[in-house]
Chains A and B, each alone.
Chain A
C-alpha cells in the first residue's frame, strides 16, 4: 500500500482508521526511526536555499531591529536577480519572536521542522538566542552571523560549533573603549550603567581588563534587563549624586534612551560612552519619540555620545559599500520601512557575507561544509566592515576591530579625532593594539568574490 492510498483512506471514517493505519504501518516499517543521516541536506534543492532568521519584528524591542530582515532579504533578492548561488535562489524565512524567549523556542522549531531551513542567519538578541543556541548546535544546524556581541556564544567553538557571530564581542569593544578612557579621560570621574546580564557582564569584564573599574552603588549603577521601561531615574540620580562625569553604557538602546531621558529630567548631562548596540540612532530616537521627545531633540541628546563601530557609518556617502548597498536597498527592499540606517546596513552586510559563504562552500552545499568553510576562510568572506573577521577553529568571534567615534548633530557617528583609527584585541586578556587593515573593494556588480 503506498502513501498516497493511505492518505486517501484515512479520511473515510473513524471506524476504519485503526485498520487502515495498521495496514499502512506494515508497509512503512522498513526502516527504524532514527533521524535520517546522510540524506539530502535540509533546505537545499537544485533551485533553492532556505535560510531562517529570528528577530523582534514587533513589540517593544523591535524598533530598528525590525529592519534587519528586510534588508537582508533585499540583498538576497538582488543576488537572486543575478542568478542566485550556483543557480539556487536564496529564500529567507524570518520569524517574529517579539523578543520573548518562549516564542524564540517555538519559532526555531517551526523554522527547523516546517520550513526545513538549511541554516539560521542573522538572528537577533542575546537573551532570546541563548534559549535556542544549544538545540540548534545539537542538531548541527549552521547558526550563522548572529546579531549579538555576547562572547559566550563564540569563544568556545567546542561548546557551540555551529554558531558564528556578526558583531565584535562586547568584551572586545569594551576593552577598546576602556583603552580610550584610560588615555583620554583619566582625569574624569568615570562611572557605568549596565544591565546585570550577559551583555553587562561582558562590558564590565572588558573595561576591567583595560584597567577601568567601578564601585558598586557609587559610580556603578545597575538595572535588570527588561525593567528599563519603568525608568532609570534612580540609577541616573545615583550617578549624578556621585559626581560621575563620564557614564559608560553597557546596555541595549532602549535602556540608553531611557537613561538619557531620566538624566535629562534632572539636568544631568554627562559624557556618554556607549557599547555600539546600545547607541543605534534609529532605536534611540524611536524610543524617545514614544516618550514624547521629538526627533530633533533626541538627535541633539545623542550628539556628542561616544561609541564604536566595526563598519562604516551609514551616513558615509562616499563609502563604496554604503553606496552599493543603498542602491540595492532602494531597488529591492520591500519592507515597510526601508529608510537607510545602520540596521539596514548591517542586514545587508550579513546578506553579503552569507552569500559569500554560500559561494565559498561550493555547489555541493552541506551543513558541515559551510561551517568548515567559514571557520577556515575568514579572509575570503569579505564584507563592508573595516575590520577583518576573526573566525578560526579557536574562536567564532566576528570582527576583532573597532574604531571610536562621536555622534554629530545629524546622528552620524564620525571618527572622534577626524581620522579613523582601528583598534584590535581579543575577548581574553590580550592587549589593545592598532589595526592596519585594508578592506577588499566591493565588485562592480556588488556581489562577493570568494576566489
Chain B
C-alpha cells in the first residue's frame, strides 16, 4: 500500500527546493483602469472579461455576463505561497469562482449562466505572501470599489471565499459593512487561526514523542524568508517519511519509542490513532470511511487509523506552511504546550469508540502517561501573545452568512465552522437579550447558516490483497479540503445570491428541501461535527 498524500506535499524534494524568493517591497501606485474583452460565447449569453491591477500590483479579474441580474460575487482565495517546493508559485488570478480540488473544475460557467457577475484577485502579489490577511482586507475593498465604479448596475454584492479567506472576510465585513450584502465562507479558517495551528503543532510534538525524537516541529519555525521555509519543509519531510513507512505495514509493529512503551505490545498504529484523536484529525478520509472492515482491516478503528494516516500528511502539511507563515508574524516560539493536559484532549466518546484501536484502557493510559511525562515545549511569551491575538474578530456582522464545510475536511477541520457559528450565536443572543429589555429598535435576527456536506455511509475499497485501496476514486462527497460537487457549490452560491437580496439566510425548511435535491448536502441544521481542541478566545 502506498500512502496517498497531496501531490504538492509528496513531491517535496531537494531539487525542488530552489531558493529563489526574495521579499519584494509592495509597489505603491494607483490602480489602472481594467482592460476588457468579450469572452467566449460558449457561455450562451456571452460575457465580458476585464483584467487590471490594484495599487499594489496585484492582478484582478472580472467576468460580467451579458445577462447580468444585478448580483456580483467577489471571490477570496485561500492561502498560497510564493516559495517553491511545496506548491507552485502563484502567477496571478488563478480562481475566479469556487472550485473543487478533487473534481478539478470550477463553477464559473454555471454562475455566469445564472447571470451572476464574477470577480477575483490575486491575494499573493509579490511580497504579500503566506498569512497575509491584514493586507488583503484593504485589497478586497479596492477590488469592490473598482468593480462598483465600472459596473453601476451592481445591485448586490456577495463576498465569499475559501479556507484562509475566513480570516479575511470576517474582519473585512466588520470593518466595511456596506461592502457586502451576503457572506459565504467555504471550509474557512474563521478567526482565530491560532486554535487550529496549536493542534497542528501538537501533531508534530506527539509524533516526536512516539515515533521520531528528531522532529522539532513548530519549534523549528521562526526564521524569515527562504531559510525559514526550508527549515519548515525539513520538518514536514520527517513526518512524510514516517507516514510513508507506516503505510507499508499499517503501523502494525510494536512501538519502539519511547523506551517506557517498548515491549508493551502497543502497536505503532495505536499511537497514530491517538495522535489523530488528540488533535482532531478526521477519522474519515478520501478513501477510508471509518467503518468498513475485512480480513486485513479487521475492525473499524483500524479503518479510522488508516483514515488518519491518509489525512495527517495534508493536515501537517498545511500546518507547516501556515505555521511557518505565522511564525514570520509572531517570531519564533509561538508554540507552547507547558500547560497542555493531553488526557483532556481525548474525547470520552473517542476513547470508547476506538478503544480497541487504542489498545484498550491500558494502552490509552500508558500512552497518555508517557505524554504527560515527556519534556514540554516552552514558547516565547511575546510570540505566544502575538499568536493568540492573530486575526481577531468581533463576529458582530449582521450580514446573512452561509458557511459550507465538508464533514471530514483534512486541512481545515470542521470544528472551525462550529466555532464561527458559536461566536455568532453568542453575539446574537446578547443582542437579543438587550433588545428584549427595551424592545426598541430593530429586533436582532439570527442570520448565520452552516451547510454541511457529508460522506456516503461506506465507500472504502480493498485491493485483491485485502489492503485499503488508496489510489482509486475518492469518496463522492464530504472529504478533503475545498472539494465539493458542482451541485453542492451551486446550491451554496444560489443561497448566497438570494440572501443578498433578502438580507436573510434561507429558512430551515428550504434548506431541507434543497438538501433533498443535492446529494450529500445535509439538511440537518442541528448537525455538529467534532469541535476544535483549543479555544484561545476572540
Contact = CB atoms under 8 A, between A and B. Distances in A.
Interface string A27-67: 01111111110000000000000000000000000000000
Interface in B181-234: none
A10 B514 CA distance: 10
A448 to B, nearest CB: 32
B265 to A, nearest CB: 10
A196 to B, nearest CB: 3
Nearest to A196: B360
A109 B510 contact: no
A127 B494 contact: no
Nearest to B361: A196
Contacts of A15: 44, 113
Contacts of A195: 360
Interface stretch (B29-37, B329-337, B347-355): B347-355
Contacts of A201: 361
A227 B356 contact: yes
B12 interface: no
A34 B446 contact: yes
Given A32-B446, A130-B349, A197-B360, A224 B355 contact: yes
Interface stretch (A16-24, A78-86, A235-243, A429-437): A16-24
Given A29-B510, A103-B291, A22 B497 contact: yes
A351 to B, nearest CB: 27
Contacts of B497: 22, 25
Contacts of A12: none
A45 B510 CA distance: 22
Given A100-B300, A226-B299, A198 B360 contact: no
Interface in A128-182: 128, 130-131, 133-135, 138-139, 152
A138 to B, nearest CB: 7
A26 interface: yes
Contacts of B448: 33
B28 interface: no
A112 B526 CA distance: 10
Interface stretch (B19-27, B248-256, B378-386, B498-506): B498-506
Nearest to B513: A3
A113 B524 CA distance: 7
Contacts of B291: 100, 102-103, 106
B290 A102 contact: yes
A390 interface: no
A374 B488 CA distance: 43
Contact of A30 (B115, B290, B355, B507): B507
Contacts of A102: 289-291, 300, 303-304
B114 to A, nearest CB: 3
B98 interface: no
A409 interface: no
A224 B114 contact: no
Interface in B471-518: 490-491, 494-495, 497-499, 501-502, 504-511, 513-514, 517
B51 interface: no
Nearest to B525: A35
Interface in A308-339: none
A197 B355 contact: yes
A138 B527 CA distance: 10
Contacts of A106: 291, 457
A95 to B, nearest CB: 11
B431 interface: no
A33 B299 contact: no
A29 B494 contact: no
A138 B529 CA distance: 12
B349 A29 contact: no
B427 to A, nearest CB: 14
Contacts of B490: 17-18
B78 interface: no
A131 B291 CA distance: 13
A28 B501 CA distance: 12
Contacts of A24: 510
Contacts of A32: 445-447, 449, 504-505, 507
A116 to B, nearest CB: 11
B340 to A, nearest CB: 22
Contacts of B359: 224
Nearest to A32: B446
B517 to A, nearest CB: 7
A298 interface: no
Interface string A101-131: 1110010010011000000000000111011
A222 interface: yes
B528 interface: yes
Contacts of A261: none
A223 to B, nearest CB: 8
Interface in B352-385: 352-356, 359-363
A225 interface: yes
A19 B457 contact: no
A101 B449 CA distance: 28
Contacts of B511: 33
Given A32-B446, A34-B446, A222 B360 contact: yes
Contact of B495 (A25, A112, A130, A139): A25
A278 interface: no
Contacts of A347: none
A200 interface: yes
Nearest to A226: B356
Contacts of B498: 22, 25-26, 29
B439 to A, nearest CB: 19
Contacts of B502: 25-26, 29
Nearest to A222: B362
A135 B528 CA distance: 8
Interface string B520-536: 00011111100000000
Given A29-B502, A29-B504, A139 B526 contact: yes
A196 B523 CA distance: 38
B114 A127 contact: no
Contacts of A135: 528
B56 interface: no
Nearest to A139: B526
A25 B355 contact: no
Nearest to A27: B510
Interface string B273-312: 0000000000000000111010000011001100000000
B446 A33 contact: yes
Contacts of A26: 498, 501-502
Nearest to B67: A19
A394 B360 CA distance: 30
Nearest to B270: A224
A35 B526 contact: yes
B488 to A, nearest CB: 13
Interface centre among A15, A31, A138 (most CB of B within 10 A): A31
B110 interface: yes
A28 B510 contact: yes
Interface string A199-242: 01100000000000000000000111111000000000000000
Contacts of B513: 3, 6, 28
A33 B356 contact: no
B356 A224 contact: yes
Contacts of A34: 446, 508, 525
Contact of B355 (A33, A138, A225): A225
Interface of A: 3, 6, 10, 15, 17-19, 21-22, 24-26, 28-36, 100-103, 106, 109, 112-113, 126-128, 130-131, 133-135, 138-139, 152, 195-198, 200-201, 222-227
9 contacts: A18-B113, A22-B497, A33-B446, A34-B446, A34-B525, A102-B303, A130-B349, A131-B352, A224-B363
Given A29-B506, A101-B353, 16 more contacts: A18-B490, A21-B494, A22-B494, A25-B497, A25-B502, A25-B510, A26-B502, A29-B504, A32-B447, A32-B449, A34-B446, A34-B508, A106-B457, A197-B355, A201-B361, A224-B362
The 9 closest A-B pairs by CB, nearest first: A18-B114, A102-B291, A196-B360, A25-B498, A130-B352, A224-B360, A28-B510, A226-B356, A196-B361
